[in-house]
């Protein structure tokens, strides 16, 4: 295991109203390769949640094209769309893998994580801890769960994107009142080109099955909640591009 240090300057944010930006001098992939991802994100969430009492926030990872695609971490807070924590639905589709919606979206299971298609058919893949946790800070360091979470995210990207280096628009982890679901979701948002040219073609049958399930309002309500049912009933859903109607800034 590589024992490289984590520079203190990575935890000095550029501060703007309702937004902080942290900049790393390496990419997310390099954080994982050098076995520093777990330690880095542990220090980051400690800085946010313990040192600065930030509980409700949107965490977004981006490439910085002006800095050789190094990692930027955006923390947005103070303007959440919801004023309370997400409603607990009868079914947690990230836990109850025998539910028909879970089976339609599940792609793989690792020691500590599961990978999924998005249950709302948006142009993204989802990674969740197998344990039902709500915050990144709840992942375990001692057994390697935190490190594995980020390792599995990079493996998922590589596997699904055929090793294309820059294929996602952003990686998002929402916390507190920024969520729609209680189970922690890491959302990997892909470019339209990668999504349509590679991922949709690979999972065409599962996506079609998922679209059919989303016509069943009882399935939607027990898994995604009544608000999503109301949103769908107010919209006409084109079968070819159902994900385009869904806002993807929350999970």
Q: Which CATH number belongs to the domain containing residue 12 in this structure? A: 3.30.428.10
Q: Which pairing describes strands 106-109 and 113-117: parallel, antiparallel, or unpaired?
A: antiparallel
Token reading at 154 = 């990079």
Write the DSSP string, the chain: -------GGGG-PEEETTEEEEE-SS-HHHHHHTT-HHHHHHHHHHIIIIIS---SEEEEEEEEGGGTTEEEEEEE-S--S-SSPPPPPS--TTT-TTSHHHHHHEEEE-SSEEEEE-TT--SEEEEEESS--SSGGGS-STTSHHHHHHHHHHHHHHHHTTT-SS-EEEEEEEEGGG-SSSS--EEEEEPHHHIIIIIHHHTHHHHHHHHHHTT-HHHHHHHH-HHHHHHHHTS---GGGGGGGS--S--
Let me know if residue 81 belongs to a domain: yes
Domain that holds residue 201: 1-235
Is residue 95 in some structural domain? yes
- Asked, for residue 170, whether it belongs to a domain, the answer is yes
Q: What's the pTM value of the predicted model, to 2 decimals?
A: 0.88
Residue 243 lies in a domain: no
Which pLDDT score, from 0 to 100, does residue 18 have? 94
Residue 113 phi, psi dihedral angles, 5° rounding: -135, 165
Pick the closest to residue 187 from 206, 173, 169 (CA basis): 173
What span, in angstroms and rounded, lies between the C-alpha atoms of 54 and 64? Answer: 24
pLDDT of residue 71: 96
Q: Is residue 242 part of a domain?
A: no
pLDDT value for 241: 40
Q: Is residue 9 part of a domain?
A: yes
Q: Kindly state whether residue 247 falls inside one of the protein's structural domains.
A: no
- pLDDT tens column, 200-245: 999 999 999 999 998 888 888 888 877 766 666 555 444 444 333 3
Query: What is the model's pLDDT at position 224?
Result: 80
Low-confidence residues of the chain, pLDDT below 70? 1-3, 80-81, 165, 228-251
Q: How many domains does the chain have?
A: 1
Asked if residue 248 is part of any domain, the answer here is no
First to last CA, the chain: 34
């Amino acid at each position: 295991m590589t024992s490289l240090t984590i520079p203190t300057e990575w935890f000095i944010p550029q501060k703007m109203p309702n937004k902080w930006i942290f900049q790393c001098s390496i990419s997310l992939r390099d954080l994982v390769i050098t076995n520093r991802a777990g330690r880095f994100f542990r220090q980051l969430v400690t800085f946010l949640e313990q040192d600065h009492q930030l509980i409700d926030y949107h965490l977004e990872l981006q490439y910085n094209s002006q800095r050789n695609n190094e990692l930027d971490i955006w923390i947005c807070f103070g303007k959440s769309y919801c004023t309370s924590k997400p409603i607990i639905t009868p079914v947690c589709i990230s836990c109850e893998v025998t539910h028909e919606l879970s089976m339609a979206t599940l792609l793989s299971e690792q020691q500590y994580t599961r990978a999924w298609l998005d249950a709302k058919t948006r142009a993204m893949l989802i990674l969740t801890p197998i344990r039902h946790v709500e915050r990144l800070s709840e992942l375990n360091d001692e057994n390697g769960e935190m490190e594995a979470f980020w390792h599995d995210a990079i493996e998922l990207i590589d596997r699904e994107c055929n090793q294309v280096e820059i294929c996602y628009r952003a990686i998002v982890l929402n916390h507190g009142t920024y969520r729609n679901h209680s189970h922690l979701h890491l959302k990997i948002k892909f470019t339209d080109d990668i999504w349509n040219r590679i991922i949709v073609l690979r999972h065409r049958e599962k996506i079609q099955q998922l679209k059919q399930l989303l016509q069943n309002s009882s399935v939607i309500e027990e898994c995604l909640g009544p608000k999503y049912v109301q949103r769908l009933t107010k919209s006409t859903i084109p079968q070819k591009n159902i994900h385009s109607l869904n806002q993807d800034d929350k999970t």
